[in-house]
Structure 1
Amino acid sequence: MEDKSGVTARRRFIAATVVDAVGNGIYVPLTMLFVHALTGQPLTAIGTGLTLAGLGALAAMPVVGVLIDRHGGKRVYIGALALRAVAFALYPLATSYPAFLAVALTVAVAMWASAPAQQSLIGDMAAGAKRDRLLAWNRSLRNGGMGFGALAAAGMLAAGDGGHLAAALALAAAFAVATVLAALIAVRAKGTRSAPAETGGYRTVLADRRYRRLTAANFLIGFAYTAQAIAMPVFLTRATDLPDAMAGIVFAVNTALIAGLGVPVARLMSRARRGRGAALGTAVFALSFAAFAFLPALDGTAAVVAVLAVAVVYTAGELIHAAPAESLAVQAAPDHMRGRYLSVYQLSWSLCRTLAPMLLGLLLDAGTWQLWAALAAAVLIGGAILLSADRPHPAPTASRAMPVPAAA
């Protein structure tokens, strides 16, 4: 039977995750409007600044991995939350362009550092099936919190000119609360993870052929996830002649299903090998993309019903793929180098998100079916790579991983 401290640690982690996700939900959908209202900078300058901030965050990820390995996922996660609390409190004062760039870079680095730090923290808190369940809860709560935060942001903006300032203060408060909650999580001391002689650098990560395959597969499959926010709204309103609100409805359906079904589906998928389960998700993704390609042939009520049905299939692909894929990435990383491994894995997401607007835009301009054919090919290749990397884990050795207790 599990000790009470382990249950308490997970509850505090879940609470911090929810508050963190609500904050992201307030900020992410309204970034351009939010920054423009607070700083007064032109939209073109803001877009350039946010791009530079994203590139800076991308360059910072290797350092994040080193910090996680040296100080533990918990401390890095606390630092990322605290940085965002301070940055959002300072946003209303960032009226000059250099000040805006500094705040935007701080926010970007902290946001991108949170994912590997969270995953590493979960790796320290739990092992095996308990780790998989906690990862599933983390994904579901992130989606639910993001949706709630987006609704909260809409309410703040409806309040008028003071809504953006209220949003900045709410963000600062939310991340401050999340920082405190994360600091209260009890985990094993970092020093017990491995002996100093067992540490290694990024050369060790890059030499791991299996993890390279997992990272390459994640990069390709990541385009399926970015398509929802970047390509689907344009496609639905331009190619299918549906009202603009349809894109928001599809997003709401996706968010609700992931928040509600993420944990049950993860529990179901835990019965299969992780690589095979994730590859099955890519096949469902490809099926939904094939269906999207035929939507322009429909109109009226039939088109609306078909879009919602295909959105459900797409979400099923996400649910089936996400749980085993994330578990595989965490499980395949040696405990003493988990920060570096997960930072490299996060780089594949970040690089995909950086390239996606340009590549998906070119595919949208190429024609109706080219986008979906390219996405289907990408995810199927990614799924094939996952299958090639799906082999039983070797037995832990002193040089690879130390046993991980549930909590301390």
Structure 2
Amino acid sequence: MTTTAPPTPRRPRALLTAALPAPGAPRLLALSWLIKTVGSGLYLTTSTLFFTRVVGLPVHQVATALTTAGIAALAGAVPLGKLADRYGPRRTYTALLAIQFATMAALAFARTFPVFAGLILVFLLAEQGSTAARGALVATAGEGAERVRLRAYLRVVTNIGITIGAAASALVIQADSKTGYMVLLWCTALTYPAAAVPLRRLRAPKPEPELAAEKSPRRGSGWQVLRDRRYAVITLICGVLSLQAQVLSFAVPLWVLEHTEAPRVLVSAMVTVNTVMVICLQIRFSRGAEDNARAAAMCRAAGLALLASCALASFTAGLSGWQAVTLLLLFAAALTLGELWLSAGSFGLSFNLAPDHMHGQYQGFFSLGRGTATALAPALIATLCLGDHPRVGWLVLGTLFAAAGVAAPWALRVRGAPGRTPGAHA
């Protein structure tokens, strides 16, 4: 009688290695991004408090400067991405990190509105460019499934890093002292040069103009992304779907507190559900996104999941007790499922549909979708979901999500840049 030996349990070290990005460029990029997102967690939770309590600016001036600078910074996405194509993504990304360090450090000494507004504009321009350069850097670290998997890892790292940063700032917020806010701002500034340190060990790829000459007999326009209709449509679709990020951060706290009778602590519970699901599931949900058709199907699934979440939210108005808690937790889970599918699908399409020698400008252009959504979301969500007819507004928002998701597979049939085949893999 033949017996089958039980499988040998994997050692803890092997499990840890399997849970990390591959050695080399992927792991170095993940470490760099972890450091930077810890700084983001520090900044997001305390920046408004610093600007109002230390700098001494009124809240409306802070909001005006952030909104205006955020919209103006969108104009730098494609030009700065093009610099990454010309001079290399690592060099460009490192330079932009240095600019962010300098402007963040200078904010510690800002005491007037014009100085504050000017520094914030430079900071957000560099942030917009670093998004494009980082996308191009990810593209050089692998191909196909490797790119999508690394991008999924970076999204998990984002949630971990921001959580660490937010937790670290809790004591400073509790103390509510000017010295504490000043120290935290300097710590945030130092994360930018610290994030550049792991990048020094990356092997510099071949200059992009040489790579383009080798890979493409026809190099095309230096601004080819502006003529790529298919990529523009995909960017628009993913931009509309990315409104979901503002639903959690902007709409949920106000909705729970003002339109339901659920306990206030439920807001934190919903954010926790979102964070845990993204950390545990993002990599799994991203499998297969290197295929264009599957990536587009993921965007479609995202739109339908977001429709379901909005429908659940519309039923929670005025509810109390366990009914409100149950529906709101289901709403958070459905919203996060949409986020997971959207992230996976957008990772794949943004890389697959871009020429290998133009990832900087293409990633810069793709970031315009999310950037525009971030700028417009508060006004749109406030009008639809927090206005006079919130139940109808939630359903209208959900329908918008569903329409955008369903359009994603169709968008692959739109003619792309000259000389490229619709639906082809990059």
Give your verdict on TM over 0.5. yes
- 1:365: which partner in 2? 387
Matched, 1:235 2:252: no
Asked if the contact 1:285–1:313 (Cα under 8 Å) also holds between the matched residues in 2, the reply is yes
Matched, 1:333 2:323: no
| Structure 1: tracts of 5 or more residues without a match | 1-5
Write the mapping of 1:59-70 to structure 2, written as runs, cut at 5 A. Answer: 59-70=75-86
- 2:366: which partner in 1? 345
Q: Cα gap change, 1:180/1:399 in structure 2, threshold over 3 Å: closer, same or farther?
A: farther
Distance in 2 between the 1:361 and 1:187 partners? 46
Write the mapping of 1:132-171 to structure 2, written as runs, cut at 5 A. Answer: 132-161=148-177, 162-171=179-188
Structural RMSD (CA)? 2.7
- 1:248: which partner in 2? 268
Task: Encode CA deviations 1:96-131: one digit per residue, 9 max, x unaligned.
Answer: 323212221122112222222211111111101111
Asked if the contact 1:278–1:383 (Cα under 8 Å) also holds between the matched residues in 2, the reply is yes
Q: Cα distance, 1:246 vs. partner?
A: 2.2
Asked if the contact 2:145–2:288 (Cα under 8 Å) also holds between the matched residues in 1, the reply is no
1:388 to 392, 410, 413: 410
Q: Which has the larger radius of gyration?
A: 2
- 2:212: which partner in 1? 194
- 1:355: which partner in 2? 376
Aligned length: 395
Q: Cα gap change, 1:358/1:393 in structure 2, threshold over 3 Å: closer, same or farther?
A: closer
Distance in 1 between the 2:151 and 2:231 partners? 19
Write the mapping of 1:246-325 to structure 2, written as runs, cut at 5 A. Answer: 246-267=266-287, 273-296=294-317, 298-325=319-346
Q: Cα gap change, 1:79/1:227 in structure 2, threshold over 3 Å: closer, same or farther?
A: same
Bigger helix share: 1
Distance in 2 between the 1:78 and 1:214 partners? 29
Distance in 1 between the 2:378 and 2:132 partners? 23
Task: Encode CA deviations 1:294-325: one digit per residue, 9 max, x unaligned.
Answer: 11253112311221122112111211221122
Matched, 1:86 2:102: yes
Distance in 1 between the 2:299 and 2:333 partners? 18
The farther-off stretch of 43-52 and 142-151 is 43-52
Distance in 2 between the 1:41 and 1:193 partners? 49
Q: Cα distance, 1:142 vs. partner?
A: 0.8
Q: Cα distance, 1:369 vs. partner?
A: 1.2
Distance in 1 between the 2:126 and 2:88 partners? 16
Distance in 1 between the 2:64 and 2:81 partners? 27
Asked if the contact 1:9–1:187 (Cα under 8 Å) also holds between the matched residues in 2, the reply is no
Matched, 1:98 2:114: yes
| Structure 2: tracts of 5 or more residues without a match | 1-21
Q: Cα distance, 1:392 vs. partner?
A: 12
Distance in 2 between the 1:379 and 1:31 partners? 31
Distance in 2 between the 1:12 and 1:38 partners? 36
Q: Cα distance, 1:239 vs. partner?
A: 1.3
The one-letter code matched in structure 2 to 1:56 is A
Asked if the contact 2:260–2:320 (Cα under 8 Å) also holds between the matched residues in 1, the reply is yes
Task: Encode CA deviations 1:75-111: one digit per residue, 9 max, x unaligned.
Answer: 2221222222222222211113232122211221122
Matched, 1:379 2:401: yes
The farther-off stretch of 39-48 and 340-349 is 39-48
Distance in 1 between the 2:335 and 2:153 partners? 20
Distance in 2 between the 1:187 and 1:301 partners? 56
Distance in 1 between the 2:85 and 2:204 partners? 15
TM-score, normalisation: structure 2: 0.86
